[in-house]
Amino acid sequence: MGQPGGGRTFISPRILRHFSLISLANFDDDTINRIFGTILDWYFKKGNFNPEIIKFNNKLINGTIEIYHIAMSELLPTPAKSHYLFNLRDLAKVVFGICMSEKEKVNNPEALTRLWIHEVLRVFGDRLINDDDKIFLI
């Protein structure tokens, strides 16, 4: 609901009194890194993953945040690409996809890197409709 005018209808105060406006500030990179870094760190320690993989945690989160920022700034929605809407939920899907891994299959940093690339392409890359847009993720 917006201000009256421009095709919008007037909202009476009688109806408006039932609604509240909630506004949240965007998280900065340090906060996002702490939230998702803690989740990955907990998962890797709970699953008794290799210590090399636990040290790789920070690089995964920083790389995912960088991809997220690129998608937010460069891959903007247009009428032909109206589904190019990226938010923090997409970043969470990458992290939670990694958290579905098994210790036996992800036993070295190379396997973890391949898993991370797969999750990034699954979450962000599957929405892209042409090769020019996919270049931003590679």
Tens digits of per-residue pLDDT, 59-83? 999 999 999 998 888 888 888 788 8
Q: For the beta carbon of residue 60, count every other beta carbon within 10 angstroms.
A: 23
Place of tokens 């036996």: 104
Domain of residue 65, residue span: 26-137
* pLDDT-derived band at 5, boundaries 50, 70, 90: low
CATH of the domain at 117: 1.20.920.30
Does the global pTM surpass 0.85?
Answer: no
> What is the count of structural domains for the chain?
1
Whether residue 125 is contained in a domain is answered as yes
Whether residue 60 is contained in a domain is answered as yes
Q: Which two tokens stand for residue 11?
A: 């909202």
Backbone phi, then psi, for 137, in 5-degree steps?
A: -90, -15
Over residues 84-133, the pLDDT tens digits come to 888 899 999 999 999 999 989 988 899 999 999 999 999 988 888 888 77
User: What pLDDT does 2 receive?
Assistant: 58
> Which ranges in the chain belong to alpha helices (H)?
13-16, 29-46, 51-55, 57-74, 88-98, 109-123, 131-134
Over residues 6-18, the pLDDT tens digits come to 666 777 888 888 9
Whether residue 8 is contained in a domain is answered as no
